[in-house]
Protein backbone atom coordinates (compact mmCIF):
# COMPACT_ATOMS: atom_id res chain seq x y z
CA UNK A 1 0.00 0.00 0.00
CA UNK A 2 1.27 3.45 -0.84
CA UNK A 3 0.62 6.57 1.15
CA UNK A 4 -1.29 9.50 -0.30
CA UNK A 5 1.85 11.56 -0.52
CA UNK A 6 5.42 10.91 0.47
CA UNK A 7 6.98 13.91 2.19
CA UNK A 8 10.17 15.31 0.70
CA UNK A 9 13.04 15.01 3.14
CA UNK A 10 15.69 17.73 2.76
CA UNK A 11 18.87 16.45 1.13
CA UNK A 12 22.08 16.72 3.16
CA UNK A 13 23.95 19.89 2.32
CA UNK A 14 27.67 20.00 1.69
CA UNK A 15 28.04 22.64 4.40
CA UNK A 16 26.36 20.49 7.08
CA UNK A 17 29.71 19.39 8.51
CA UNK A 18 30.56 23.07 9.05
CA UNK A 19 27.40 23.51 11.13
CA UNK A 20 28.31 20.50 13.25
CA UNK A 21 31.81 21.94 13.77
CA UNK A 22 30.32 25.28 14.87
CA UNK A 23 28.08 23.51 17.39
CA UNK A 24 31.08 21.58 18.77
CA UNK A 25 33.04 24.82 19.21
CA UNK A 26 30.04 26.33 21.03
CA UNK A 27 29.74 23.44 23.49
CA UNK A 28 31.02 25.49 26.50
CA UNK A 29 28.15 27.95 25.94
CA UNK A 30 25.53 25.45 24.81
CA UNK A 31 26.17 23.17 27.79
CA UNK A 32 24.93 25.72 30.32
CA UNK A 33 21.58 24.43 31.71
CA UNK A 34 19.42 27.45 30.66
CA UNK A 35 20.76 27.36 27.12
CA UNK A 36 20.38 23.59 26.80
CA UNK A 37 16.74 23.69 27.94
CA UNK A 38 15.54 26.78 26.11
CA UNK A 39 17.45 26.68 22.84
CA UNK A 40 18.26 22.99 22.30
CA UNK A 41 15.44 21.07 24.02
CA UNK A 42 12.26 23.05 24.76
CA UNK A 43 11.22 26.68 24.42
CA UNK A 44 8.16 28.24 26.08
CA UNK A 45 5.70 30.31 24.06
CA UNK A 46 2.55 32.17 25.04
CA UNK A 47 -0.68 32.17 23.01
CA UNK A 48 -1.72 35.78 22.26
CA UNK A 49 -4.70 35.15 19.95
CA UNK A 50 -7.61 32.80 19.42
CA UNK A 51 -6.55 31.42 16.03
CA UNK A 52 -5.87 27.95 17.46
CA UNK A 53 -9.01 27.79 19.64
CA UNK A 54 -10.29 25.41 20.96
CA UNK A 55 -7.00 23.46 21.08
CA UNK A 56 -4.94 26.40 22.35
CA UNK A 57 -6.60 29.42 23.91
CA UNK A 58 -5.48 32.90 24.87
CA UNK A 59 -3.56 32.65 28.14
CA UNK A 60 -2.01 29.26 27.43
CA UNK A 61 1.72 28.80 27.80
CA UNK A 62 3.12 25.94 25.74
CA UNK A 63 6.40 24.10 25.36
CA UNK A 64 7.79 23.55 21.87
CA UNK A 65 10.23 20.72 21.26
CA UNK A 66 13.21 22.32 19.53
CA UNK A 67 14.81 19.04 18.44
CA UNK A 68 11.66 17.56 16.82
CA UNK A 69 12.55 18.73 13.30
CA UNK A 70 16.26 19.39 13.70
CA UNK A 71 17.95 22.77 13.98
CA UNK A 72 18.12 25.75 11.67
CA UNK A 73 18.94 29.43 12.11
CA UNK A 74 15.55 30.11 13.71
CA UNK A 75 16.29 27.62 16.49
CA UNK A 76 18.76 30.06 18.03
CA UNK A 77 18.58 33.59 19.47
CA UNK A 78 18.35 36.42 16.94
CA UNK A 79 18.16 33.86 14.08
CA UNK A 80 21.93 34.04 13.65
CA UNK A 81 22.94 32.63 10.23
CA UNK A 82 25.42 30.09 11.64
CA UNK A 83 24.59 27.68 8.81
CA UNK A 84 22.06 27.19 6.01
CA UNK A 85 19.27 24.63 5.89
CA UNK A 86 18.58 22.22 8.74
CA UNK A 87 20.82 19.72 10.53
CA UNK A 88 19.54 16.52 12.17
CA UNK A 89 16.45 17.18 10.04
CA UNK A 90 13.15 15.37 10.46
CA UNK A 91 9.91 16.14 8.65
CA UNK A 92 6.69 17.17 10.42
CA UNK A 93 3.58 15.00 10.20
CA UNK A 94 0.04 16.02 9.37
CA UNK A 95 -1.63 17.18 12.55
CA UNK A 96 1.53 18.51 14.24
CA UNK A 97 1.15 21.91 15.88
CA UNK A 98 4.25 23.85 14.95
CA UNK A 99 5.99 27.08 15.85
CA UNK A 100 7.47 28.69 12.76
CA UNK A 101 8.63 31.88 11.11
CA UNK A 102 6.71 32.88 8.00
CA UNK A 103 8.55 33.25 4.72
CA UNK A 104 7.00 36.70 4.23
CA UNK A 105 7.88 38.00 7.72
CA UNK A 106 10.60 36.03 9.48
CA UNK A 107 10.59 38.26 12.58
CA UNK A 108 7.40 36.86 14.16
CA UNK A 109 6.68 33.45 15.69
CA UNK A 110 3.43 31.79 14.57
CA UNK A 111 1.68 28.68 15.91
CA UNK A 112 -0.55 26.66 13.55
CA UNK A 113 -1.39 23.06 12.63
CA UNK A 114 0.25 21.25 9.72
CA UNK A 115 -2.38 19.80 7.36
CA UNK A 116 -0.42 19.62 4.09
CA UNK A 117 2.95 18.07 3.19
CA UNK A 118 5.05 18.59 0.04
CA UNK A 119 3.08 17.64 -3.05
CA UNK A 120 -0.32 17.67 -1.30
CA UNK A 121 -3.25 19.46 -2.91
CA UNK A 122 -5.16 21.44 -0.28
CA UNK A 123 -8.52 23.14 -0.72
CA UNK A 124 -11.41 24.45 1.37
CA UNK A 125 -14.89 23.63 0.06
CA UNK A 126 -17.84 25.14 1.96
CA UNK A 127 -15.76 25.14 5.12
CA UNK A 128 -14.55 21.55 4.72
CA UNK A 129 -10.86 20.71 4.43
CA UNK A 130 -10.04 18.68 1.30
CA UNK A 131 -6.67 16.91 0.95
CA UNK A 132 -5.72 15.37 -2.38
CA UNK A 133 -9.31 15.59 -3.64
CA UNK A 134 -10.74 13.80 -0.60
CA UNK A 135 -12.74 15.66 2.08
CA UNK A 136 -11.27 15.14 5.54
CA UNK A 137 -13.60 13.17 7.81
CA UNK A 138 -15.32 15.32 10.40
CA UNK A 139 -18.05 14.91 13.01
CA UNK A 140 -20.38 17.65 14.26
CA UNK A 141 -20.09 18.25 17.99
CA UNK A 142 -22.19 20.27 20.39
CA UNK A 143 -22.09 23.98 19.55
CA UNK A 144 -19.88 26.26 21.63
CA UNK A 145 -20.98 29.53 23.22
CA UNK A 146 -17.45 30.91 23.06
CA UNK A 147 -18.54 33.66 20.68
CA UNK A 148 -15.77 36.05 21.74
CA UNK A 149 -13.06 34.13 19.85
CA UNK A 150 -15.08 34.60 16.68
CA UNK A 151 -15.85 38.28 17.23
CA UNK A 152 -19.57 37.48 17.48
CA UNK A 153 -22.18 38.88 19.83
CA UNK A 154 -22.39 37.24 23.30
CA UNK A 155 -24.71 34.26 23.26
CA UNK A 156 -24.08 33.42 19.60
CA UNK A 157 -23.45 29.76 18.87
CA UNK A 158 -20.26 28.56 17.22
CA UNK A 159 -20.20 25.34 15.21
CA UNK A 160 -17.73 22.81 16.58
CA UNK A 161 -16.31 19.85 14.66
CA UNK A 162 -13.98 16.93 15.29
CA UNK A 163 -11.75 16.58 12.25
CA UNK A 164 -9.66 13.46 11.48
CA UNK A 165 -6.71 13.65 9.09
CA UNK A 166 -5.73 10.73 6.81
CA UNK A 167 -3.02 9.62 9.28
CA UNK A 168 -5.57 9.33 12.12
CA UNK A 169 -4.75 12.53 14.02
CA UNK A 170 -7.98 14.14 15.24
CA UNK A 171 -8.72 17.46 16.89
CA UNK A 172 -11.54 19.98 17.33
CA UNK A 173 -12.13 23.00 15.12
CA UNK A 174 -14.40 26.05 15.29
CA UNK A 175 -16.55 27.19 12.37
CA UNK A 176 -17.59 30.71 13.30
CA UNK A 177 -19.71 31.63 10.28
CA UNK A 178 -21.08 29.99 7.16
CA UNK A 179 -19.52 31.07 3.87
CA UNK A 180 -16.55 32.75 5.50
CA UNK A 181 -13.94 34.48 3.35
CA UNK A 182 -11.69 31.39 3.17
CA UNK A 183 -14.42 28.73 3.33
CA UNK A 184 -14.05 28.24 -0.44
CA UNK A 185 -10.63 28.45 -2.02
CA UNK A 186 -8.66 27.45 -5.06
CA UNK A 187 -6.44 24.37 -4.87
CA UNK A 188 -3.09 24.96 -3.15
CA UNK A 189 -0.30 22.58 -4.27
CA UNK A 190 2.35 22.47 -1.54
CA UNK A 191 5.88 22.97 -2.96
CA UNK A 192 8.83 20.73 -2.11
CA UNK A 193 10.44 21.64 1.20
CA UNK A 194 7.30 23.38 2.52
CA UNK A 195 4.20 22.63 4.59
CA UNK A 196 0.66 24.00 4.59
CA UNK A 197 -0.74 25.15 7.95
CA UNK A 198 -4.19 26.10 9.26
CA UNK A 199 -5.53 27.49 12.51
CA UNK A 200 -8.13 25.35 14.30
CA UNK A 201 -10.35 28.45 14.53
CA UNK A 202 -10.91 28.37 10.79
CA UNK A 203 -12.77 31.67 10.30
CA UNK A 204 -10.45 33.63 12.57
CA UNK A 205 -6.96 32.59 11.52
CA UNK A 206 -4.33 34.04 9.25
CA UNK A 207 -2.56 30.96 7.88
CA UNK A 208 -1.35 29.34 4.65
CA UNK A 209 -4.58 30.29 2.90
CA UNK A 210 -3.36 33.90 3.01
CA UNK A 211 -0.57 33.87 0.47
CA UNK A 212 0.25 37.55 0.94
CA UNK A 213 1.29 37.11 4.57
CA UNK A 214 2.05 33.48 5.48
CA UNK A 215 1.48 31.18 2.51
CA UNK A 216 3.48 27.97 2.28
CA UNK A 217 5.84 27.58 5.25
CA UNK A 218 9.45 26.57 4.45
CA UNK A 219 10.61 23.62 6.56
CA UNK A 220 13.80 25.58 7.18
CA UNK A 221 11.62 28.07 9.11
CA UNK A 222 10.26 25.54 11.62
CA UNK A 223 11.21 26.37 15.22
CA UNK A 224 9.69 23.35 16.97
CA UNK A 225 6.67 21.14 17.64
CA UNK A 226 4.23 22.11 20.40
CA UNK A 227 3.98 19.22 22.83
CA UNK A 228 2.52 20.48 26.13
CA UNK A 229 0.41 23.20 27.70
CA UNK A 230 2.29 23.88 30.91
CA UNK A 231 0.22 26.81 32.19
CA UNK A 232 -3.10 28.40 31.36
CA UNK A 233 -4.76 31.54 32.72
CA UNK A 234 -8.09 33.27 32.29
CA UNK A 235 -8.40 36.91 31.25
CA UNK A 236 -8.72 37.74 34.97
CA UNK A 237 -5.39 36.09 35.72
CA UNK A 238 -6.86 33.00 37.39
CA UNK A 239 -5.22 29.63 36.63
CA UNK A 240 -7.07 27.00 34.59
CA UNK A 241 -5.83 23.94 36.44
CA UNK A 242 -7.69 21.53 34.15
CA UNK A 243 -5.30 22.55 31.35
CA UNK A 244 -2.14 22.25 33.43
CA UNK A 245 0.49 20.01 31.77
CA UNK A 246 -1.94 18.94 29.07
CA UNK A 247 -0.50 17.05 26.12
CA UNK A 248 -1.07 18.64 22.71
CA UNK A 249 -1.20 16.95 19.34
Number of structural domains (the chain) is 1
- Give the domain extent around 80: 16-247
Tens of pLDDT, residues 67-94: 889 888 877 766 666 667 788 878 999 9
C-alpha dihedral, 114 to 90 to 167 to 186, nearest 10°: 40
Q: Is 8 domain-assigned?
A: no
Total-model pTM = 0.82
Q: Has residue 9 been placed in a domain?
A: no
Assigned domain for 3 exists: no
Cα torsion 173, 176, 181, 187 to 10°: value is: 20
Among 7, 66, 75, 112, the one annotated catalytic: 112
10 is a domain residue: no
Catalytic residue among 51, 144, 205, 208: 51
Averaged pLDDT, 28-46: 65
Which CATH number fits the domain that encloses residue 35? 2.10.109.10
Which tens digit of pLDDT belongs to each residue from 139-175?
999 999 989 899 888 889 999 999 999 999 999 999 9
Mean pLDDT over 215-219 rounds to 94
To the query of whether residue 208 is one of the catalytic residues in this protein, the response is: no
Q: How many CA atoms lie within 13 A of 129 on its CB side?
A: 33
205 is catalytic: no
Q: Considering the domain boundaries, does residue 7 fall inside one?
A: no
Is 105 within a domain? yes
Amino acid sequence: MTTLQESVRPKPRSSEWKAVLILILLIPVLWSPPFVFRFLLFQPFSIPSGSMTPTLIVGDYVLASKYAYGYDRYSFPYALPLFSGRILASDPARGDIVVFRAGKDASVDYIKRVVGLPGDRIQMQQGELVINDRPVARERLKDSLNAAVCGLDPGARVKRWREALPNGVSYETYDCIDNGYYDNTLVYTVPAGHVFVLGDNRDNSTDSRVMTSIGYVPMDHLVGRVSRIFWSMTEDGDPRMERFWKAVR
